Amino acid sequence: MKPIALTRKEFIRNSALALAGATLIPGMLLAEEGGQLAHQKVLDGHQGKKSYTLKNVLLETGFEYDGNGNVIATKTGLFSVHIEAGKIKKISANSTDANAIDAKGRLMLPSFRDMHIHLDKTFYGDKWQAVRRGAGGVKGMIALEQQILPELLKNSTYKAEKLIELLQSKGTAFARSHVNIEPTSKLDSLRHLQLALENKKNSFGAELVAFPQHGVYYTDSVPYLKEAAKTNIDFIGGVDPLSIDGAIEKTMDFTVQLALDHNKGIDIHLHESGESGLKTVEYLIKKVNENPALKGKTFLSHCFVLGRLEKAKQQEMAEKLGAAQIGIVSTIPFAGLIMPIPTLMENNVTVMTGNDSIVDHWNTFGTGSVLQKANMAAQVYGQVTEYGLSRMLKLATAGPIPLDDKGKQQWPKPGDDANIVLIDASCSAEAISRISPVGSLIYQGNIVY
Amino acid sequence: MTTPYTAPLKGNYKLKNVLLETGYVSDERGIKATKTELFCIEVNAGKITKIFPNDPKLATAVDAKGYLMLPAFSDMHVHLDKTLYGLPWQAQSPKKRTVLEMIAYEQEIIPELLQTSTTRAEQLIDLLQRYGTTFARTHFNVDTTSGFRSLENLQKALDSRKESFNAELVAFPQHGFFYTDSAPLMEDVAQMDHVAYIGGVDPYGIDKNIEKVLDYTVKLALDNNKGIDIHLHDGGKEGIHTIEYLAEQALQNPKLQGRTFVSHAFVLAQLPLAEVERIAEKLATANVGIVSSIPFGDLVMPIPTLLKHGVEVLVGNDNVQDYWSTFGPGNMLAKANLMAEIYGWRSEFDLSRTLRFATHNTLPLDEKGNMQWPKTNDSAEFVLIDASCSAEAVSRVSPTMALAHTGALYWKK
């Protein structure tokens, strides 16, 4: 294949033409959601096709460097991309084929993945209500949940579908969703969510974490967790073993054993930011090292304690987490507590992000966009250059990005799953910095919009 | 790129199905929701002339579709004159430039930027308007490279958008008063009627003389009956001294009170609480305000402490997309949202009060929940938002569906 390299000068000329009303002009902006631009859907009308070619697809092909070896821009070119049976079949020189679908010069990126969200208990799609936290901290919140969950569950399938549609509108086609497993919901929260996922299965994928929000033992969730573990859920969850269940080891031992017995991963919410938080991390590292089957599929969500440690201790913990292949899932806190995400990444710790709450009784600020999370990370960690911004895309995709660190094209490749967004940006760096509008989403080859 | 809005409805018209906030709903635990009702609104000659009970059948009225009417948004710190917004994407340079190096860089690129600065200012205004902003306090460069051209080009952009947008102007000696010889230019600009504020930047960091620069700034402001708004990034004792010295000048010159501002004032984020409180007290007494673009990450401004002591706090986007930063959303509701998240303002009441940072202090309800906006005779400067109340609008950064500037009503296409 012969890329049609668009030099920066040509690009500027094209853009100047665009300003004058000629080709490449962005389509009309339709509406704004979450303070971000939404875009005309360029693939509308082509839904349902199984085998098709996209032309005028902008792909990143490399970096442009200055004399000092610094990346100053991203090289891109227009290509044709053939999609068949859910896969990217072929990438070829841009075609003029009248039957090909015109992507209108939009940038193709891997679709986004939200790796920490609660799809099962949201107010989204329902009436607005602000958070009203009472006294009693997390245990107070558990009492509140016991009171409101029966009502919430009544239309939780509908709301989960609405929330999935929000995520899709922001370019997300996959989520790791926690799902409450406790004596109030029993397995209903799981069942309702599974119904929503079934209804969306052609346009959205998910993996599920059985989440004992009310403690494993604080409320007796053991039988429900055991039952959930027998289903096709993917992870055994958990939350703050010491502050909720009163003991780190007992709860963690149960969680680890349940995961091992059923060949599941682990994803524990850990908000405890003091000594107990650190002990929990260390204990989990120990258990994973003892049980290598858990390596690569064990995660700590939030893990705020890492943000409270001295630099040297952060480095030490990052090395240990990296060695045990335990990943960190963070919502990218940006004030007060700052997570040592660059240190984690430097030590090969898998770092992923998610929206967590979108609008619920815990928090009402979730935008649904993981591109926005990557944008916040770029700002918090000073990743403001072309190179730095482009690397932040990893947070939004939780996986592949078009260029590797050396600027070598690594995505898309023939055989890759056709999980794709078309975005109104000239390169990844711009998409991150400007939270560019997503114009199209393709999931497993299906054109969602 | 063009305006996202349709041609305006002007003159005398009525709106029906306008959602207005009418009070707070409380229970034994405090405020839990916001009360709203649908109304009809009459607009005439740029003013709200009548607010009356909703009549969904009123055939002569335009349907506001139940959208929430809020005061239009104001961006209180932006640089409309030197944006790269609308040009091809360009990340910040990997060269780490000091402020003095940035001045040298500006001297190099300003001549080229000025060639298209009117168009780009217009595009940036369009972006702000997309998110419901109809007013900005904009800084414009006054330096030996730009001369008055940055102002002239900006003025053209403002003239072309005057039906839907207006601005107050801050003459901004980005390259110092004396570090480059911009003082004579500033003397001339200060006399111009349409310039409202004398600006400045880091008297210590750039001109190396806090008192000389501030004395000069104060004299220009007093001689020409202007306000003051200076950028202060300097930290440490120099940063503190700059703030205190300016506050002292305002105390001695009551004409400056209420119209003297320090933009950014990052030094306040680096001080112990007691020191912030002492300075906040001084700022409040001198009626000197702080203007912030709401930084986050390592640097979080002590805005709640400033507010507690009665300091006026204004908010703006600052850079939207230029060679200083490429992260500005251009959206004042997004800034209010960011503040609510940073400072933990998440209850119905707190979220609803946070709206004031997007509206330059105008809010539909007072603290007790009494309706205070809109009132008959208020300027018809409003937005229609797809939200059920202010709290939701702030928390969800709800979309702007229409905006009105001095009565001219523009609907989103």
- ipTM associated with this complex: 0.96
CB B309 within 8 A of CB B335: no
Position B1 scores a pLDDT of 43
Least Cα distance to A437 among A115, A31, A116, A162 occurs for A31
- As a whole number of angstroms, the distance between CA A96 and CA A87 comes to 22
Residue B204 is encoded by which pair of tokens? Answer: 């210590």
Distance between CA A127 and CA B156 in Å, rounded? 45
Q: What is the dihedral of CA A284, A289, A295, A297, to 10 degrees?
A: -20
Mean pLDDT (whole number) for A101-117: 97
Residue from B21, B133, B327, B388 whose CB has the most chain A CBs within 10 Å, to mutate: B327
- Record: contact B395-A364, CB cut-off 8 A: yes
Task: Examine the pLDDT at A7 and tell me if it is beyond 70.
Answer: no
pLDDT of residue A3: 34
Closest to A295 in 3D by CA, of A266, A258, A316? A266
CA-to-CA separations, B335 to A314, B54, B331, B393, in angstroms, rounded: 31, 32, 7, 12
- On the question of a cis peptide bond just before residue A342, with omega within 30 degrees of 0, the verdict is no
Q: Minimal Cα distance from A427: which residue of B?
A: B89
SS3 for A14-67 is HHHHHHCCCCCCCCCEEEEECCEEEECCCCCCCCCCCEEEEEEEEEEEEEEECC
Q: Could you tell me which residues come within 8 angstroms of residue A286 by beta carbon, excluding any fewer than 6 positions away? A: none
Contacts of A367 in chain B (CB under 8 A): 397
Confidence of residue A39 (pLDDT cuts 50, 70, 90): low
Residue A247 CB partners (closer than 8 Å, separation 6+):
A241
Contact A189, A231 (CB under 8 A): no
Amino acid at A294: L
Q: Considering only CB atoms, which chain B residues are within 8 Å of A365?
A: 337, 340-341, 346, 395
Calpha distance A200→A297 (Å, rounded)? 25
Å between B99 CA and nearest CA of chain A: 17
So what's the pLDDT on residue A5? 37
Residue A22: per-residue pLDDT: 31
Mutate to test the interface with A, among B75, B326, B386 (most CBs of A within 10 A): B326
Spell out which residues of chain B touch residue A338, defining contact as CB-CB under 8 Å: 297-298
Q: Which one of A73, A335, A363 has the shortest CB-CB distance to B342?
A: A335
pLDDT over threshold 70, residue A35: no
User: Which residue does chain B place closest to A434, by CA atoms?
Assistant: B327
Return the structure tokens found at B254: 């009551």
What pLDDT, in 10s, does the model give residues A239-297?
999 999 999 999 999 999 999 999 999 999 999 999 999 999 999 999 999 999 999 99
The sign one gets for the Cα dihedral A192, A193, A198, A202 is: positive
- Residue A10, pLDDT score: 38
Helix (H, G, I), strand (E, B) or coil at B141: strand
Extract the tokens encoding A427.
């390169």
Q: Across-strand partners of A268?
A: A238, A300
**Tens digit of pLDDT at every position of chain B (413 positions):** 467 899 999 999 999 999 999 999 999 999 999 999 999 999 999 999 999 999 999 999 999 999 999 999 999 999 999 999 989 999 999 988 898 999 999 999 999 999 999 999 999 999 999 999 999 999 999 999 999 999 999 999 999 999 999 999 999 999 999 999 999 999 999 999 999 999 999 999 999 999 999 999 999 999 999 999 999 999 999 999 999 999 999 999 999 999 999 999 999 999 999 999 999 999 999 999 999 999 999 999 999 999 999 999 999 999 999 999 999 999 999 999 999 999 999 999 999 999 999 999 999 999 999 999 999 999 999 999 999 999 999 999 999 999 999 999 999 98
Nearest to B92 among A380, A385, A430 (CB): A385
pLDDT band per the 50, 70, 90 thresholds, residue A16: very low
Cβ count near B52 (within 10 Å): 13
Nearest CA-CA partner of A373 in A397, A350, A349 = A397
Contact B94 A29 (CB under 8 A): no
CA distance B145 to A139: 63
Question: What average pLDDT score do residues A171-196 get?
Answer: 98
Torsion angles phi and psi, residue B313, rounded to 5: -120, 120
- For A380, residues 6+ apart whose C-beta sits below 8 A from its C-beta are A332, A334, A338, B296, B297
Pairing assessment for the beta strands A351-353 and A101-102 based on DSSP bridges: unpaired
* pLDDT value at residue A291: 98
pLDDT at residue A36 tops 70? no
Of B44, B25, B43, nearest in space to B35 by CA: B25
State the pLDDT at residue A134. Answer: 75
Chain A nearest C-alpha distance from B338 (Å): 9
- Mapped onto helix, strand or coil, the DSSP state of residue B176 is coil
User: Residue A444: left (phi > 0), alpha (psi -120 to 50), or beta?
Assistant: left
Separation of alpha carbons A421 and A110, rounded Å = 6
Is residue B316 within 8 A of residue B291, CB to CB? The reply is yes
DSSP A251: H
Distance between CA atoms of A46 and A325, rounded to whole angstroms? 41
pTM above 0.90, yes or no: yes
Q: How far away is chain A from the Cα of B196, in angstroms, using its nearest Cα?
A: 30
Cα dist from A268 to A143, A260, B302, B366, whole Å: 21, 15, 33, 44
- Cα A151 to Cα A117, A154, A185, B346, B392: the distances in Å are 20, 5, 10, 23, 22
CB count, 10 Å around CB of A136? 11
